[in-house]
Amino acid sequence: MREEEVEVAVKVVVVGNGAVGKSSMIQRYCKGIFTKDYKKTIGVDFLERQIELNGEDVRLMLWDTAGQEEFDAITKAYYRGAQACVLAFSTVDRDSFEAIELWKQKVEDEVGEIAMVIIQNKIDLIDEAMVQSNEAEALAKKLSLRFYRTSVKENLNVDEVFRYLAEKYIDQLNTVIEEEAVPQKIGTGLSQNDVKNHSKEKNHKHKGDIISLQPSKRRTHGKKSLVAGKCSLL
């Protein structure tokens, strides 16, 4: 077990084509604000928020990366050390949907397999959709990733996305700690394969889950409320 006093820090990168709502999503989550004005991210922006998750302090460090190809050399450097990733596309941008697998590959080329989620943003514009619901769900199933439909404008499912990634990372962290402790348990009837198989079964239950369009009800309570993020242009 980890020491309860130790704060868990999770680096989350948000990637996807330009104008899909990455910056707006991070601003909404960390500062509780939304603006319709689009401003292209130059390189990388950074915000953070501290939450309490199952009695533990968790600090989410959110990195908003530019979606334009000319910034690839800059943004790739910031993928390193990431423990979770949001793959974002827009309901009204077909190209952004078709680029999801490429973005996934770019991140994994730098950091390997980490906790990931696919989001379909701007679901409030569903009447103008350029991507069919079954297509998005099929892609999530193909990539074995959880899928959320979000609306940053209406603050729909935004908290749920980042909470899921934090939970997923902590589960993986605890699994590693359990596996490191296995040699001490061998001889009591628990083998290393038992632990690994349990971990696989646990993770399998979460693969390809589809999150329906429901209002966000979860809130952060107590003294660990959101920290007004420092927004700096790097």
Does the structure show a pLDDT above 70 at 4?
A: no
pLDDT 10s digits, 134-172: 999 999 999 999 999 999 999 999 999 999 999 999 998
Looking at the DSSP bridge assignments, the partners of residue 52 are: 57
Band of residue 22 on the pLDDT scale cut at 50, 70, 90:
very high
Q: What gap in Å lies between CA 104 and CA 113, rounded to an integer? A: 9
Q: Do residues 100 and 118 lie in contact, with contact meaning Cβ atoms separated by under 8 Å?
A: yes
Fold of 8-166+208-218: Rossmann fold (3.40.50)
Q: Scan for tokens 């530019």, then name that residue.
A: 66
Answer yes or no: is pLDDT of 214 > 50. Answer: no
Domain map (residue ranges) of the chain: 8-166+208-218
What is the value of pTM for the model shown? 0.75
Q: Report the SS3 class of residue 59.
A: strand
- What confidence tier does 54 reach under pLDDT thresholds 50, 70, 90? confident
User: How far apart are the C-alpha atoms of 154 and 159, rounded to whole Å?
Assistant: 12
Determine the pLDDT at residue 234: 36
Joined tokens for residue 138: 């099929």
pLDDT of residue 209: 62
What is the per-residue pLDDT across 105-138, written as a single tens digit (0 to 9) for each? 999 999 999 999 999 999 999 999 999 999 999 9
Tell me the two tokens of residue 25.
Answer: 């999503």
Q: How confident is the model at residue 68 (pLDDT cuts 50, 70, 90)?
A: low
Query: To the nearest whole percent, how much of the chain has pLDDT over 70?
Result: 68
Q: What is the pLDDT of residue 225?
A: 37
- Does residue 66 or residue 14 have the better pLDDT? 14
Q: CA 25 to CA 47: how far, in whole Å?
A: 11
